[in-house]
Structure 1
Amino acid sequence: MQIGVLGPLEVRAGDGRPVDVPGARLRGLLAALALRPGRVVPRAVLVDWIWGEHPPADAANALQRLVSRLRKLLPGGALEGLTDGYRLAVEPDAVDAVRFERLVAAGQARTEDVSGRVHLLREALGLWRGAALQDVGLADSAALDAAVVRLEGLRLTAAEARAEADVALGRGAEVVTELADLVAAHPVRERLVAALMRALAAAGRDSEALQVFQRAREALADTLGADPSPELSAVHLALLRGELGRREEDRRTNLRAELTSFVGRQADVAAVRGLLAEHRLTTVIGSGGAGKTRLATETARTLLDDLPDGVWLVELAALGADGGEVAQSALDGLGLRDALLGGAPNAELTDRLIAAVRDREALLILDNCEHVIEQAAVFAHRVLGECRRLRILATSREPLGITGEALWPVEPLALPRGEAGPAELASSPAVRLLRDRAGAVRRDLAAGADTDARTLAVMGRVCRALDGMPLAIELAAARLRTMTVDQLAHRLDDRFRLLTSGSRTALPRHKTLRAVVDWSWELLSGAERTVLRRLSVFSGGASLEAAERVCADGGGDGVAEGDVLELLTALTEKSLLRAEGGAAPRYRMLGTIKEYASHRLAEAGEAERTRRAHLGYVVELTETAEPHLRRAEQLEWLAAPQARPPGLGREVGPEVEGLGIRRE
């Protein structure tokens, strides 16, 4: 015999024949027995089920008469009378409600086998044909009402569990409509609300998911005077963080897969990793095209397994010079684009970001900070102060200037010596990069191909001419599609016209060599531009004294001699100059920067004037030094700082090299 109570009462004999059970009390008796199949149900319990608080005066005899009538309707031996009550002699699974409870319990127990859980829960929910015990009709039976409430509650629990499992299997979009109907019927059922939010997020409908949470919060306040539970609030926070609706491996980073190999910076990766382990803010600084972004992202990839909440690239290059919203770029990078729809409506973007990442152990890469340096510094200082497990790795052409900031200057790739042999040339990081990128367009130049010593030597010359700058080398490699290595080397004197074949998908400032330096130039003040272009007349760099004499003009354009030191410092911090030496540093430029500054000097109409100032300084220096350098005590004189004229360092500077004097 099969008995169904999950909907209209349904009874079938062993041969499948339907059995009609007329009358509310007979149906109530059968339901009370069916919910405890194979077990003895006490007479008092049955009386309570059937008559509730108004039993007849002779309840025992009234119950006996009902049992007799029901026994005649059921197959023989199905209803047994015992001394302490009555028992329905059927298997538990013969009653749909009992089978339903068993399947739900089994489905909830299989926590690891999500697919198996879904199968069991679907089978359980498939047993329902309508409302539980819907046609029993015992109006005054509290026991019946309690059984209905329990079964309907378990039905909701099963629906919630099945929906959660479906979302976990990537089927969230398929259950949105069903869950929306359930939430509409049960607006304060928080687990249903959470399941609907997850399903909407899985369907890419984050805004609607946030609206569902807002409606649930209002319903809870209006109906129960309560706030959302910690569990529902956690789902809301995960939605703001962009953690819902994505596979686990996609949640931990937004770094794109690279299309080219990473050459020559393995030691830098280890060093930056070390700084990040000790400092919560590390800034990778260097000139344009030095490879700061690539170094930062490659370092971050090595940290993915150590950061539970991942690594996130925040691209600031698209922001205007006014800074735009650094916080908005961070929200976009973290995938929190819908955060504007949640939380307090008047909260600042940075406040919302902090609320979303406060407890996350993650790394943010703030990329290309130089043109929004003030805004990036303020943002980093605020976020690091309130998110104690967060770390920031910034890339910029100058430091953020925050207390506690660790710096890693990105130097040009190591260059081979001028007299290097084939083995040293082939192993040089700069030449390796040139061969690697050239190999993509010329198979005969690839790193694995046989390359003669002469070609390697020319490649070494190309890399030295380009100062080992990675972007310049990559642009040069692209030119090898249509020219030989010799032709490339011979034309590098006009590098800004030659190196113009950048990637179509690169940032505009990285598509040509001139654009790289133009970007840095545009970020300079007028006084900084003046000093940089005038320094281009020095062939081997300048001492502070020399720069003050040649670059200052008595205030004609705002560059006074007393301002030069500060301007040199600013240009050095912006990676356009390199300060080399100890107590008396010399300020030098990379060849590419020097050529660019020389062009700018000519454009400004200052070339002749600056060269005359430089020549006058060299003549004065030479006249002062010559008597001492031609005597036997020249070495003693050079070793005595107080005796040297301004501009002459411990080693004879380029200013007096024309005299043919060397320390040896």
Structure 2
Amino acid sequence: MRFAILGETRAWRADGAEVALGGPARRALLALLLVSPGEVVSADRLAEEMDPGGALSAHALQSQVSRLRAALGPAVAIERAGAGYRIVVPPEGVDVWRFEHLTGQGRAALRDGADARAVALLREALGLWRGPALADLAESMTARAAAVRLEELRLEALEDRIEAELRLGEHRGVVPELRELVSRHPLRERPAGLLMRALFAEGGPAAALAVFEETRRRLADELGADPSAELVALHKEMLSADSRPAAPPAQFTSFVGRAQEVAEVADLLRGARLVTLIGPGGVGKTRLSVEVADVTADEVCFVELAALREGADLPRALLGALRLRENALHAAGRAQGPVERLIAALSDRVLLLVLDNCEHVVEQVATLAARLLATCPRLRVLATSREPLGLIGEHLWQVRPLDGAASVRLFTDRGRAARRGFTADPRLMEQICAALDNLPLAIELAAARLRTLDVDDLARRLDDRLGIAARGSRAADERHRTLRSVVAWSWDLLSEPEQRAARRFAVFAGGAREEAARRVCDTEGETLESLADKSLLEVAGGRYRMLETIRAYAGERLEAAGEHEAVRRAHARHLLKLVRTAGPHLLREGQLEWLPVLAAEHADLLAAVRWTVQSKESVTALELLAAAAPYLWIQGVPASFAPEAIALLNALGDAPPAGYSTSSHGEEYALCVLLAAFGAAGRPLWQRHRASAAQTLAAAWPGDRPGRHPVALLLWMLRNAAEADVQAAFALVSSQRDCPDPWVRAVARYVAGYGALGEGDVEGAQRLFGTAADGFRALGDRWGTALTLDTLADLASARGDRTTAIALTDQALSLTQRLGALEDSADLLVNRGDHLIGDDLAAARADYDRAAALARRAGSPTYLAAALRGLGDIALLEQDLAEAERLYGEALERLDPHWVKSLGNRVRTFAGLGRVAEARGDHAAAAERYRQAAALVSPDMLPLMGLPEAVLRAVSPR
């Protein structure tokens, strides 16, 4: 039989039929016996617990026992033992035992990292509960103590289950449950910490930090205590996690032999703004720069340039390391380049910029460093290179090989890591290190071989390898000569399957997860693990990576083996499959899950596109670009792929390739044209290919069936919004209002809403935007939802409903924060300031100031201009005409006249300047400014600009 006391007392026979236990007295008696099955419970205690304070006689108790026996039948024995009774049932037949057993297993699985198993076990355990423990013994003091213990175990199991679900990335589903748990247990810190983690994973730090503050206040008010060290540490991590630039890579080994150099270079940097560490490859420049960065008092941004293939990509590499992104929600062309964004972001920032491995792009690094240092007075640069940058004011620090004693210490340290208890004759180790030119990288690679070789064998093999290296080509590149011999020697110690996997791994520009590496390299997981053991690969964050010097050598071996094209093609196919798999999720609930996945593959995706373009694999290149389009625009990084799209279009000529002018393939070509247009160099190509792209896109979306790339419709409309013949793009998107794809239907209604506005149908536009917002929201698309909420807020403000406008803008802001969109958040803060300015001047000023700070941090002149325009509006309201004119002038200088998102702010800026002139009595100047404002938009759109009534009358056509 099965028994349950986690709730009302119940029993079931083996066939599943429930036993009719009778009244409360019998259920209480059974519960008392089941609390400790098999143990004797005295008759006196049974009587007292069943009827506290009463007078249950021995005869009455015996009668209840008899009736309970009759109800349970012969399958269960209730025995008389001395002065009491006991029930004879196996412990596993009682739900309490099963609950404690399952929770113990679940907790063990959680400790071992088996999170999915932990969730399953703990869910099963918690599912045993049907109400309060020992519910039929509510008046029993003994049972009450047992119930308190069980309830505590239940709460711990619930926390463990939620912990496991958070590890599995299921943060959205647990937030409501955690909120209720924190409400019921406001002084319990673990649920508060779990809620902070879930909220942070779902939407960033703001909501999570609010939970910490509320918990801290309750602890202080009710207990006079501070939060635990664990909760404080979590709070500090969240405070800094959202905006830190790329930190120097974490080191897993000790630092040997250069402590004095660290102090001297750090001291040099206090007086010099540009220091370059120079020396041969493998000498330890990168490690020295990391150690110097760790002791500086300034903020540090570490930029690894080894993977950079062209100097033109350098500014965007710096933008990425600084965590500055392209605009995600309002994608359209704009004139400002990445260098200007860098200058804007760093102009007033105290920062040490570490540029590692500059030698292959030394001229571009020198040019950019000179400009940044000249325009950003608080910036300092620490570079590592095999040659100087060649700038006036550059301080060179020659990084030399280790001395003999330090080399032996390094070899000994790494040897002990490879083989426990390693010792050797110091003179033999000194000979080995000297043969390796005392280069740290060579020493570490040699010491790693001590896993399988003793030191005497190592010395003998090393002599052989040096002989081969000495007979190598004198024409080899100087920077490769020593490292080539080291890597070649390490390479030759690999088995043939290991060499095959290692040379194929060279195609991964940013590392790879095991599954991808196995597929592309056509190898086994054991082989990859072996390569990691032998220091040919590194493992970090669940990804395999290869040092760049080793990867360069492996790439040469791949070419020599004649496998380059086949492996590159397999690599491109892998990336294409990945982006195709991710694509639909990026426009739905899976956005936050899949964006980081593709971000981790960004370098490899770019490398795959670049190879397909260079190899004239035009079809695959187009398919890669098209499948990646949702990621590129939502993440805000289309500019990084624009050069490849431009190169592809140049290779194609003036027409799409064969097969891509048909309805089934036109979208890939059109998306390539859109990508090319995102770069300034691609604008002539946009004019040349725009008509062809429009035709192929229209053929792919005829209206009676959907195409394959829904995002193409929205992007096409956004890019064409500023074109003179925008109606063709508008009609194409609007025609999809009955498309089977719900995301496309939402886009069509969003675009149709602007058509209704252009015709003066504000109510119709409201309905269409609302329907679009509902559609995006139902799909879980934060990008589309934020777009439509922002527009609905403008409509609400235009009709005077500022409360609704602010609420809608707040919702949009929460979404942009989840996407990590600094520029979009700045834009929405300006919009909220515009909604607030009529009622709460202080709140509006705070929003404009915060928007300006975000825009400066992002290096965005457009959103900085919008914030300055808002502050100009406030200065005008305060009758400070000179300050208003100054702010409007600065805004107008920064606003891009060719970017559709700047349109509203340009109208408001011209109108503001008109009001300044009018306040000074210069009516002619005011009329000219109003004319400039009115010329930018149709009369029906002017009320949506949030202009005062007097200004609306002035700018409206007469």
TM-score tier after normalising by the smaller chain length = 0.3 to 0.5
Q: Which has the higher helix share?
A: 2
TM-score (norm 2): 0.31
TM-score by length of 1: 0.43
